[in-house]
Every structure is written in C-alpha cells, then in structure tokens.
Amino acid sequence: MTERAQSRLPPIVITMGDACGIGPEIIAKLFRASAAQRCFVLGDVAVMRRAAQLTGGFLAVATIDAAEATFDVPPNCIPVLPADALPADLLDAPLGSIDARAGSAAARCIEQAVALARRGAVSALVTAPIHKEALAAAGVGFPGHTEMLQALAALPGMAPAPVRMMLANDELRTVLVTIHQSLRRAIDAVTFESVLVTVRIAQQAAERWGLPAPRIAVAGLNPHAGEGGLFGDEEIRIIAPAVAAARAEGIDARGPYAPDTVFMRARNAPGHPGEFDIVVAMTHDHGLIPVKYLGVEQGVNVTLGLPFVRTSPDHGTAFDIAGSGTANPASLAAAIAMARRLAAG
C-alpha cells in the first residue's frame, strides 16, 4: 500500500499500559522524536504529561474527544483520548511498583481500545506493557494481554475464537501453542487439536502478510524431539500427527524438530537464509527465549487470530528503571511499524 493510501486509514491507538512502568515514557519518547505519526494514546492525560516531563522536558499533550481528532493535532504533540472510569488517584500510584490502581487503569484502556477497533475507529491496536500482578491486584481475571484480548474480541453469546501469540523480529518469527500457564499445565495443553489450530492460524496470518505458502517448522516438546520416544512420546502421539494433518490440508508444515536447533535453522540473517518462515513452539519459554536473545529492542509481540491488528513491544514494564527516563523505545517503535504494515494489508 502506498503512503497516500495509508494516509486514508484510521489512526492507530496506543494503550498507555501500566502507569507505574515504562510504557508512558517510551510512548512519550516516540512522539518527541516524531516517530508515532497518525497515532494517539488511550489513557490518562496527567500520566502522559508526567511521562513527557520525565523524558526530556516540555512536550505538549493534547486532549482529544474522538479517534479521528488525532489528525487535527499539530506535530510534536501527544494526542490523548482520556479513558473512561480510571482511578481518580492514578497519578499517586508510585512509579516502579505493583499497584492495583495501575492494573485497573491498564485493563480499562485495553477494553476501550478493543471497542474502538471493533467499530473500525482505529486501524490497529498497539499495547504498551502491563504487569500481570497489577492486573491480579485489581481483580482482573486474565493473566495477560493475549487472553484478555481474546475474550474482549468475542461476539456476544459466542465462544472466543482461538488466538495465538507470535513474537517476531527481522530474523525470526515464533508462534506459540501455549502461553501464560505453568509448565506442568502447558505440557497437558499440548494436544493434537491445539498444535493443528496453531499451525492453521500461523498459515492464515502469513497469507495476510503476503506469504501464501509459508514454510512452517514445528518444534518438538521434549529434548531432541523425543529421540524416537526415548525421552517422551508426545512427538509421536500428538505433534507428528498434527503436522501430517496440516500437510493434508495443503499447509507446508514440517517436523517435529528438536527445539534446541530448529531456531538456528529458521533464523534469517545476512549470509544465512533461514530454512523456515515461521517456527511453531509448544511452550512459552521454548519459543520466546530465542527471539528475545536476538534483541529485545527489535522484537514485536503480535496476537494472531483477532478480528483486528494488535501488536506490542516484547518487553515488560521494567519497574527497575521506571521514572528514570532511560527506557529504550525501539521495541515499541517496531511494534508501531509492524502494526502499520499489517493494517495496510
């Protein structure tokens, strides 16, 4: 899509994230650097003004009353659509700490951003980091963004559609079968159906990116992919049959491969063209450690299977440096850039 065609798209909404973390600061840094054009923030005006001060002094913050008003805000200014029903004393929540007020505010911003996306008022949703313990302290019954977005995206009276987390950078894309649960429970959640659905979702997402026949590597669960059943039989009983079923549907899925080597094979780097376009990993850490090791600053979290585009930086709230103004906004910038590409089709 040309730049002129992109200019016809609605704006991108950026949720403020946890007010006690680095989310507001990295957002302010991008607006200060004019790196968040055609975006607005859904959150708290006072929190964003504090973030502007923490990241280099004065930066104008404009209150808007609708998403489309983003385009009326002058350059070098942060447009903020105030979220409804935020805690009145949110600014009193200490920076760098777990606070129920921040968890409640983060959840409210996500809910309202999804509502905007569902009615087409925004072209994509980019979420700043939240803290799972703050959500829990606020009584929010979701362990993270992915599960919350899945529930909010469901039509009234309908069961939520399956979604999957993908972490991606320029060298590697990983899609997860299981995410935010204990490893013991995650192993039980690796079923024929969950693996097959993950491969299908990865295929469908790649088609939307312009890869009609992605090469999908499926990682095993056990060391050496089970070594023929010596170290576990999930590959034989579950994963290999799911790969075969995907291939019968015309999907170029292969595996299961040993999880300690498949990411090296898939990595697409200068002088090393990757063998695969996507790796499907069984558990959270199996899949995310390789991508994060290549550089948190370049990584982007994408939720696949939603009826709208959602991306996020691949790091957390970084409470240890919140308030210092030193947080690196590169991953958020990458998330916005990817959201633009995906929204443009």
Look up the pTM and report it.
0.91
Question: In this structure, which amino acid lies at residue 157?
Answer: G
Strands 310-313 and 300-304: antiparallel
Beta bridge partners of 176: 281
Residue-wise pLDDT tens digits, 44-64: 999 999 999 999 988 999 999
- pLDDT higher than 70, residue 187: yes
Cα–Cα distance for residue pair 78/147, rounded to 1 Å: 29
Domains (ranges, CATH) in the chain?
1-162+303-345 (3.40.718.10), 170-294 (3.40.718.10)
- pLDDT higher than 90, residue 1: no
The token duo for 86 is 């935020």
pLDDT value of residue 2: 47
For the residues 299-313, what does the mean pLDDT come to?
94
Half-sphere exposure of 171 (CA within 13 A, CB side): 18
Question: In this structure, which amino acid lies at residue 60?
Answer: A
- pLDDT higher than 90, residue 345: no
3-state DSSP call for residue 90? helix
For the residues 270-275, what does the mean pLDDT come to?
93
pLDDT value of residue 7: 66
Percentage of the chain beyond pLDDT 70 is 98
Cα–Cα distance for residue pair 341/6, rounded to 1 Å: 9
Angle between helices 23-32 and 45-54 (to 10 degrees): 70
Do you know the residue count of the chain? 345
Q: Which helix (H) or strand (E) holds 80?
A: strand 77-82
The token duo for 95 is 């920076």
Half-sphere exposure of 20 (CA within 13 A, CB side): 23
Cα–Cα distance for residue pair 164/306, rounded to 1 Å: 9
- pLDDT higher than 50, residue 312: yes
Residue-wise pLDDT tens digits, 73-108: 998 899 999 999 999 999 999 999 999 999 999 999
Average pLDDT, the chain: 94
CA angle 297, 311, 49 (to 5 degrees): 75
Which distant-in-sequence residues (6+ apart) come within 8 Å of 8 by Cβ? none
Q: Tokens 């999804």 sit at which residue? A: 114
